[in-house]
């Protein structure tokens, strides 16, 4: 017989499960020089749906994703993390991956990005420009025709790489 929880308990349970899964996946990826970009955990029709987005400095191949999927699945089974059926998907974050961490922005140095802010800076919540630098406290963008713009990192919700066609 299914157990029913109030919505807040379901959300807490899902977050606890997500954190437990992240604690298992993170070291496994790091040991192989992969970075955990994002971990999504949803429950659909009585089973868990797990999406692991991983990346590496030189990118991630389909073969890497297949191998990581097998290893993550084995760890989940060994730890008996899920009592019900689950679907596990491991993939690259893709070209349109959100930029969220200082390291994400550092990788895009000299590339064109669009940055979305949590609150307005000089009256705007979006800026496009080339990543000039990333410091401990700021993302510096070259926003033509103005001088470089320093955006406080805590004010950034996320960014995306803008494709350039030459």
Q: Which pLDDT tens digit goes with each residue over 72-86?
A: 999 999 998 888 889
Confidence of residue 100 (pLDDT cuts 50, 70, 90): confident
What is the 3-class SS of 33-86, one letter each residue? CCEEEEEEEEEECCEEEEEEEEECCCCCCHHHHHHHHHHHHHHHHHHCCCCCCE
Whether cis (ω within 30° of 0) applies to the bond prior to 145 is yes
| CATH class name, domain 7-91 | alpha beta
Same CATH topology for 7-91 and 102-161: the answer is no
Q: What is the pLDDT of residue 165?
A: 80
Q: Is 121 exposed, middle or buried (0-12, 13-18, 19+ CB in 10 A)?
A: middle
Using alpha carbons only, what angle is made at residue 68 by residues 48 and 66, rounded to the nearest 5 degrees? 90
Fold of 102-161: SH3 type barrels. (2.30.30)
For the stretch 33-80, pLDDT in tens is: 999 988 999 888 888 899 999 998 888 999 999 999 999 999 999 998
Inform me whether the pLDDT recorded for 19 exceeds 70: yes
- pLDDT higher than threshold 90 for residue 17: no
Question: What are the Cα distances from residue 21, in Å, to 43, 88, 93, 129?
Answer: 14, 12, 18, 36
Segments making up each domain of the chain, as ranges: 7-91, 102-161
Task: State the pLDDT confidence band at 133, using cuts at 50, 70 and 90.
Answer: very high
Q: Report percent pLDDT > 90 for the chain.
A: 61
| Lowest mean pLDDT across 66-75, 99-108, 116-125, 151-160 | 99-108
Mean pLDDT (whole number) for 119-146: 93
pLDDT at residue number 21: 93
Which of helix, strand or coil describes residue 95? coil
> What pLDDT score does 84 carry?
83
The reported pLDDT for the residue numbered 6 is 58
Would you give the DSSP letter of residue 19? H
pLDDT of residue 97: 82
Closest Cα partner for 56 from 107, 127, 113? 107
């Amino acid at each position: 017989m299914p157990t029913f929880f109030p919505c807040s308990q379901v959300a807490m349970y899902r977050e606890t499960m997500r954190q437990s899964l992240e604690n298992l996946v993170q070291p496994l990826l790091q040991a192989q020089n992969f970075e955990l970009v994002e971990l999504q955990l949803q429950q659909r029709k009585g089973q868990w749906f797990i999406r692991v987005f991983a990346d590496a400095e030189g990118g991630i191949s389909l073969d890497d994703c297949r191998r990581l999927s097998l290893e993550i699945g084995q760890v989940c089974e060994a730890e008996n993390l899920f009592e019900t059926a689950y679907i596990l998907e491991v993939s690259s974050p893709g070209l349109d991956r959100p930029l969220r961490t200082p390291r994400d922005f550092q990788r895009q140095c000299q590339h064109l990005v669009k940055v979305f802010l949590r609150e307005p800076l000089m009256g705007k919540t979006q800026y496009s420009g080339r990543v000039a630098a990333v410091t401990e406290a700021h993302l510096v963008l070259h926003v033509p025709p103005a001088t470089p713009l320093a955006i406080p990192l805590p004010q950034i919700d996320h960014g995306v790489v803008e494709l350039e066609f030459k």
